[in-house]
A and B are shown apart, each in its own frame.
Chain A
């Protein structure tokens, strides 16, 4: 049982480049989210989805796009990378109700 799988684990981008962080879950969870983790700030919600075809913005959405064409996948796109997007990114999924969120192992992104 793989749970939540994120790829890549590490990435270095140049300012202005674009890329997609991949997230896949095999638990048939409806709810998926992307967070970024920065020192001293905990995790902050970027975008989330309540099901295939439905997404919405979280606390820090600027500079990121998402889509959800299937239940399993929830990619995060950086349109034009900036140094301020250097962070560790986590994808999470949950079944809803009273269940907790399950997290991937994270993607460490550096923008130079």
Chain B
């Protein structure tokens, strides 16, 4: 079984400040890791995924996440946030074998960017 813990339910931050959203997971099998973003009244969009290889994965607009196997973490970072980054962010895992549509989500972190 897998579980995902997002350590902060809400993160307030000022515009242009850096931010880190924390995610820890537990699993008895190897997993793939994902970060999804949900803007108000919309569906989920993929931000980043870690499958294998380099532990630092990079997305657009400076967003990145680092996989740490020993700490079972996959924290997301952005060096400078904008008002438009205000959204809910979900960390998720799924088994590498046979779990193609069995995503396990964290409870989400609501990022609020203030001017």
Q: Which residues of A come within 8 Å of B, CB atoms? A: 4, 30-33, 35, 40-45, 48-50, 58, 90, 92-94, 96-98, 100-106
B43 close to A50 (CB less than 8 A): no
Given A94-B101, A97-B100, the answer on whether A40 and B9 have CB atoms closer than 8 Å is yes
Q: Is there a chain A Cβ closer than 8 Å to B67's Cβ?
A: no
Q: Is there a chain A Cβ closer than 8 Å to B69's Cβ?
A: no
User: Which of A31, A42, A45, A50 touches B90 (beta carbons < 8 Å)?
Assistant: A42
Q: Which residues of B come within 8 Å of A, CB atoms? A: 4, 6, 9, 32, 34, 36, 41-46, 49, 51, 90, 92, 100-108
Given A90-B43, A103-B43, the answer on whether A43 and B100 have CB atoms closer than 8 Å is no
A41–B107 CA distance with the chains assembled, in angstroms: 5
How far does the Cβ of A67 sit from chain B's closest Cβ, in whole Å? 16
B100 surroundings in chain A (CB, below 8 A): 30-31, 50, 94, 96-97
Count contacts between A and B, CB distance < 8 Å.
Answer: 66
A105 close to B103 (CB less than 8 A): no
B45 surroundings in chain A (CB, below 8 A): 103
B106 surroundings in chain A (CB, below 8 A): 42
Q: Which residue of B lies closest to A95 (CB)?
A: B100
A104 surroundings in chain B (CB, below 8 A): 43
B42 close to A100 (CB less than 8 A): no
Q: Which 3 A-B pairs have the closest CB atoms?
A: A42-B105, A103-B43, A33-B101
User: Which of B32, B42, B104 touches A98 (beta carbons < 8 Å)?
Assistant: B32
Q: Which residue of A lies closest to B108 (CB)?
A: A42
B107 close to A101 (CB less than 8 A): no
A33 surroundings in chain B (CB, below 8 A): 101-103
How far does the Cβ of A35 sit from chain B's closest Cβ, in whole Å? 8
A31–B6 CA distance with the chains assembled, in angstroms: 26
A100–B51 CA distance with the chains assembled, in angstroms: 10
B34 surroundings in chain A (CB, below 8 A): 100
